[in-house]
């Protein structure tokens, strides 16, 4: 079976990314290098916008920028008409540096600090997604101090268990995120918000998890939120204009994974929204979705250079590359699976079985365990596709390795969008110890 992320090749048979030869990109920018195919980013966004538009619902695609955050991606999302989600002052700052329109920014997070809220209100962020009672009080203080008002959504934990890794499920009742629906916390929160005239209540938000392959969880989520909204309409005469169902749309990393296509899941979602709101005699809400992974994941490929090998009798050989858990923590953290290709001959028969490992001082720094790949030797370029989400954004300087460079490639042109970190940047915040005397 072939990996269904079809990759293009150059006339010489090399891997082609955004119309550029992967080997040329590796030579020009060095490795490890993350390359985004901009056409693929744009196609992923338009799949969301077009499918939602076809449903007839008013809608917005809010790119969850935790999946990959840098000035260039916010610029692209601004140009494509998206909204963005940010979850920290740092993401907000980056979006603003990219001149992303603040009214299209949604600020999420389960422990936004007062300083972060002050920053968001000063910069006229469009929507604050309120997560907890402490935040309601903090935001009230900030709004009073700044004599400001803001649109808010209320994050509800709908008690839905999405079947995915336990570190990335978020909608179940026992979660650190949001107001619990079952125990009535969400309704108490609504009352607090309604009592605060500086908060303009616009919507209900929930997010049930990440890397979700089937629509079932979304259906339950929508039905529960609709029931809640109907109760609020009866008891408080408020009907939120926006229903934000979060992100979590799953993508295919390897041949063993078979997510239902995003388009199909979205169609099920829009049909469910229309049906449940009609049955509950409620006006149709504007539907907001917050994909992160499904937009940037498949568009990104990481290129590495092969270095050392280790052979043991009766064991799979280790082949090491010049990156690893510092640029992609997902295999070590979530047991995430990837595939890899020899970028010089991606279509050559995968006759070797190896363990592709990184250069970090951890035995768990294995990028792909039991990989079938065409023969590799030192100096060859290995490509790991589908590394555009939660790779660079979770990168670290472990072992004081520099974080990689990032390039956008489109129709044969490439442009550096994040420089490779330098050794001098690694020590920029270090100060000499002056001793105690
Ligand atoms: N909205 C909210 C409120 C979220 O918490 C998340 C992800 C998203 C949207 C976007 O979810 P996506 O469409 O990307 O699945 N680091 C993990 C994923 C953590 C996701 C956290 N929240 C990973 O590498 O798999």
Catalytic residue from among 70, 345, 361, 402 = 361
CA gap 173, 157 in Å, rounded: 6
pLDDT of residue 178: 93
Residue 433 has pLDDT above 70, yes or no: yes
Q: Spell out where 312-425 has E strands.
A: 318-321, 341-342, 352-357, 366-373, 381-385, 405-410, 413-418
For residues 404 and 32, the answer to whether their CB atoms sit within 8 Å is yes
DSSP codes of every residue in 181-193 = STTSHHHHHHHHH
Residue of 210, 213, 269, 389 with the most ligand 1 atoms within 8 Å of its CB, for mutation:
210
Residue with CA closest to ligand 1 atom 19: 168
Residue of 112, 178, 248 with the most ligand 1 atoms within 8 Å of its CB, for mutation:
248
Catalytic annotation present for 402: no
- In percent, the amount of the chain with pLDDT more than 70 equals 96
- What's the chain's length in residues? 437
Residue 360 has pLDDT above 50, yes or no: yes
Query: What average pLDDT does this structure show over 344-370?
Result: 97
Q: What are phi and psi of 66, to 5 degrees?
A: -60, -25
Of 37-41, 174-178, 188-192, 323-327, least confident by mean pLDDT is 174-178
Q: What are phi and psi of 118, to 5 degrees?
A: -60, -45
Query: What average pLDDT does this structure show over 352-361?
Result: 98
Residue of 158, 212, 292 with the most ligand 1 atoms within 8 Å of its CB, for mutation:
292
CA 315 to ligand 1 center in whole angstroms: 36
pLDDT of residue 162: 75
For residue 336, the ligand 1 atom closest to its alpha carbon is: 25
CATH 3.20.20.10 placement within the chain: 38-292
pTM, 2 dp? 0.96
Query: What average pLDDT does this structure show over 78-97?
Result: 98
* C-alpha pair distances (Å), 378 with each of 360, 361, 363, 370: 18, 20, 21, 19
pLDDT of residue 18: 98
CATH 2.40.37.10 placement within the chain: 3-30+299-426
pLDDT of residue 165: 47
For residues 40 and 297, the answer to whether their CB atoms sit within 8 Å is no
Options 1.20.1440.230, 3.20.20.10, 3.20.20.70, 3.90.550.10; CATH for 38-292 is 3.20.20.10
For the 3-30+299-426 domain, the top CATH level (class) is mainly beta
For residue 155, the ligand 1 atom closest to its alpha carbon is: 3
For residue 205, the ligand 1 atom closest to its alpha carbon is: 3
CA 111 to ligand 1 center in whole angstroms: 16
Query: What average pLDDT does this structure show over 375-384?
Result: 98
pLDDT of residue 174: 81
pLDDT of residue 249: 97
CA 407 to ligand 1 center in whole angstroms: 23
CA 211 to ligand 1 center in whole angstroms: 8
Residue with CA closest to ligand 1 atom 9: 247
Residue 167 has pLDDT above 80, yes or no: no
- Nearest alpha-carbon partner for 61 in 50, 75, 73: 50
Residue with CA closest to ligand 1 atom 16: 390
Residue with CA closest to ligand 1 atom 7: 210
Residue with CA closest to ligand 1 atom 15: 248
Tokens of 305: 């250079």
For the chain, the 3-state helix, strand and coil shares in percent, each to the nearest 5, are: 35, 25, 45
Residue 172 has pLDDT above 80, yes or no: no
Residue 1 has pLDDT above 50, yes or no: no
Highest mean pLDDT, choosing among 4-8, 181-185, 334-338: 334-338
CA 28 to ligand 1 center in whole angstroms: 32
Structure confidence at residue 170 as a pLDDT band (50, 70, 90): low
pLDDT in tens, 107-133: 999 999 999 999 999 999 999 999 999
CA 117 to ligand 1 center in whole angstroms: 21
Q: Specify the DSSP element, H or E, that contains 150.
A: strand 150-157
pLDDT in tens, 277-321: 999 999 999 999 999 999 999 999 999 999 999 999 999 999 999
Pocket of ligand 1, beta carbon within 6 A: 64, 67, 85, 108, 168, 170, 207, 210-211, 246-249, 290-294, 330, 334, 389-390
Query: What average pLDDT does this structure show over 417-422?
Result: 98
CA 80 to ligand 1 center in whole angstroms: 21
Structure confidence at residue 437 as a pLDDT band (50, 70, 90): low
Residue with CA closest to ligand 1 atom 24: 390
- Residue 424 CA, distance from chain mean position: 29
Residue with CA closest to ligand 1 atom 5: 207
């Amino acid at each position: 079976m072939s990996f269904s992320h079809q990759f293009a090749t150059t006339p010489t048979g090399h891997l082609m990314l955004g119309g550029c030869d992967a080997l040329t990109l590796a030579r020009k920018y060095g490795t490890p290098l993350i390359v985004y195919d901009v056409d693929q980013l744009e196609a992923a966004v338009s799949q969301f916008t077009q499918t939602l538009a076809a449903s007839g619902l008013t809608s917005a695609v809010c790119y969850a920028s935790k999946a990959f955050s840098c000035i260039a991606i916010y610029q692209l999302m601004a140009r494509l008409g998206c909204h963005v989600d940010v979850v920290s002052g740092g993401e907000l700052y980056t979006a603003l540096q990219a001149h992303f329109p603040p009214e299209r920014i949604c600020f999420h997070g389960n422990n936004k600090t007062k300083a972060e809220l002050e920053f968001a209100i000063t910069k006229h962020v469009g929507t604050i997604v309120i997560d907890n009672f402490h935040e309601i009080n903090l935001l009230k203080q900030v709004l009073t101090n700044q004599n400001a008002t803001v649109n808010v959504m209320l994050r509800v934990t709908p008690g839905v268990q999405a079947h995915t890794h336990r570190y990335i499920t978020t909608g179940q009742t026992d979660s650190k995120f949001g107001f619990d629906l079952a125990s009535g916390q969400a309704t108490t929160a609504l009352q607090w918000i309604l009592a605060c005239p500086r908060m303009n209540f616009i919507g209900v938000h929930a997010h049930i998890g990440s890397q979700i392959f089937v629509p079932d969880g979304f259906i339950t989520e929508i039905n529960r939120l609709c029931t809640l909204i109907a109760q609020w309409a009866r008891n408080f005469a408020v009907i939120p204009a926006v229903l934000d169902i979060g992100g979590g749309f799953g993508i295919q990393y390897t041949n063993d994974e078979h997510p239902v296509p995003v388009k199909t899941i979205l169609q099920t979602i829009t049909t469910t929204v229309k049906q449940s709101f009609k049955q509950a005699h409620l006006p149709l809400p504007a539907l907001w979705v917050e994909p992160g992974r499904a937009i940037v994941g498949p568009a990104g490929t990481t290129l590495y250079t092969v270095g050392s090998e280790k052979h043991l009798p009766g064991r799979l050989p280790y082949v090491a590359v010049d990156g690893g858990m510092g640029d992609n923590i997902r295999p070590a953290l979530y047991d995430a699976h990837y595939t890899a290709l020899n970028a010089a001959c991606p279509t050559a028969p995968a006759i070797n079985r190896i363990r592709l490992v990184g250069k970090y001082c951890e035995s768990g720094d294995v990028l792909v365990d039991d990989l079938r790949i065409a023969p590799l030797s030192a100096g060859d370029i290995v490509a790991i596709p589908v590394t555009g989400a939660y790779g660079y954004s979770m990168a670290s300087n472990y072992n004081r390795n520099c974080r990689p460079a990032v390039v956008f490639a489109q129709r044969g042109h490439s442009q550096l969008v994040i420089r490779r970190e330098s050794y001098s940047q690694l020590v920029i915040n270090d100060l000499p110890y002056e001793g105690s005397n």
